[in-house]
Amino acid sequence: MANFQFFDAFAGNLGAGNINLDTDNFAAVLSNTAFNPSSAEEIGDITQISAGNGYTTGGVPLTGVSWGQAAPGIWQWDANDFGWTATGGSLTFRYIVVYDADTDKLVGYWDAGTQVTIVNGFQFTVEVGANGIFRIGPGTLS
């Protein structure tokens, strides 16, 4: 199980309308460099892994993005599975960072906990669960 963590700036940008979870374009990038989730706000604050071997700077677009009510008072942000295939060499990363590709604002990230290497010819997939990437409910709005 992988826990999705928010950047501190996310809630502020959500409230200010800089991020629209329902209609903006979003993307995911790979990073192998630690960042400060309290101060990072835009994708430029994240050091992505080098382009090549199947990785494109800017990451992969999220598809099937939706923002809907999963249960009374519980809202879910969802997307299709996504990932990367290493070709011509390996890809090493630790963090998968999701950002708003329309405004460059950061949403959140998964920390694999240790370096992950996608060996040449292998595919790494983030299989988004039935509970979506994240859920927000009354308990998180206190």
Partner 1 sequence: MVKNRSGDDERTKLIAELRAERKKIKQRMLQDKEKVRELSAQLRDLEGKPDKSGRSQTRFRMTSSRA
Residues that bind partner 1 (CB under 8 A): 1-2, 4, 22-23, 63-66, 80-81, 83, 85, 110, 112, 116, 118, 121-131, 133
Question: Quick one: CA dihedral 113, 128, 133, 129, positive or negative?
Answer: negative
The residues facing 91 across adjacent strands are 118
Cβ closest to partner 1, residue 29 vs residue 126: 126
- How far apart CA 36 and CA 2 sit, in angstroms, is 19
Cβ closest to partner 1, residue 19 vs residue 65: 65
- 134-136: strand order across its sheet: 66-71, 74-78, 134-136
Find the shortest distance in angstroms from Cβ 65 to partner 1.
7
Cβ closest to partner 1, residue 38 vs residue 71: 71
